[in-house]
Structure 1
Amino acid sequence: MAKYNLHGRKFVSTGNEKGLSNEDTIFHYFQDGQVITGKYKGGAIAEGFLVGKQTADDELELLFHCITTGNELRAGQSKGKITAATNGQLYLSFNWNWLNGDNSGGLSFYKEVEQV
């Protein structure tokens, strides 16, 4: 059993260098064992999906793709870290890059939001 499990947890961006997601983008994760899936939308993202795996207690790798509100298809990959505050709230940080378009990349940071 992994130290952290993302199943059913939702996150918003707190910083996203060169990325499309922002504080209006909600990421909803699902996890079964090491397998991670998810969906995201909001802000510049009309619809997005991700799939990946937890590679260590506090590490994950993801592939993601989306269609923007400007009707552009984008796809990327990332490697991330999971950390927790003393209250149990999870935080994610990613080093990522696009697999299409300009192939640029950056760093992004996310915090868990309370379930509504």
Structure 2
Amino acid sequence: MTPQDIDLDGRRFAGVTNSADGEVGHATVFTYRQDREVIWAEYGGGAVVRGYLVGTRAGEVLRFRYSHLGTDGQTSGGVCESTIEVTVDGRVRFHEAWTWESRPGSGTSVVEEIR
């Protein structure tokens, strides 16, 4: 199965790695939804109380904006571009490049499907 063939609807993901400026970690869980080229997700856990993302998909690339409430009581948001990879065992992995819009900082992260 190729990344373009993967339907993300209903799949759950967790953070694997993140840059120092990021707030998503191992305890952060994302539940993705997909309707053709439209994607969205709700997420939370770890440093994130509640978060949402919404955007589009073109083949193996996701482009979206995210917004969340941190455990510190601050709201934050930014933009992200993710590339889909299919692991050897058939799970989905996202390689992400993100930038905060609400504060200084940017980085990269990896988010992987939970089974």
Shorter-chain TM-score tier: over 0.9
Moved over 3 A (4+): none
TM-score by length of 2: 0.93
Query: Unaligned regions of 5+ residues in structure 1, if any?
Result: none
- Match of 1:36, SS state, is strand
RMSD (Å) for aligned C-alpha atoms: 0.9
> How far did 1:5 drift?
1.6
1:28 partnered with 2:31: yes
Calculate the TM-score normalised by the size of structure 1.
0.92
- In the alignment, the residues of structure 2 paired with residue 94 and residue 34 of structure 1 have an alpha-carbon distance, to the nearest angstrom, of 18
Tell me the number of residue pairs that the alignment of Structure 1 and Structure 2 aligns: 111
Instruction: Give identity over the alignment, percent.
Output: 28
2:42 corresponding residue in structure 1: 39
SS in 2 for 1:81: strand
Map of 2:5 onto structure 1: 3
User: Match of 1:65, SS?
Assistant: strand
**Displacement of 1:87:** 2.5
**Structure 2 runs not aligned, ≥5 long:** none
Deviation of 1:13 (Å): 0.8
Q: Which moved more, 1:62-71 or 1:81-90?
A: 81-90
**TM alignment of 1:29-108, pairs within 5 A:** 29-55=32-58, 57-102=59-104, 104-108=105-109
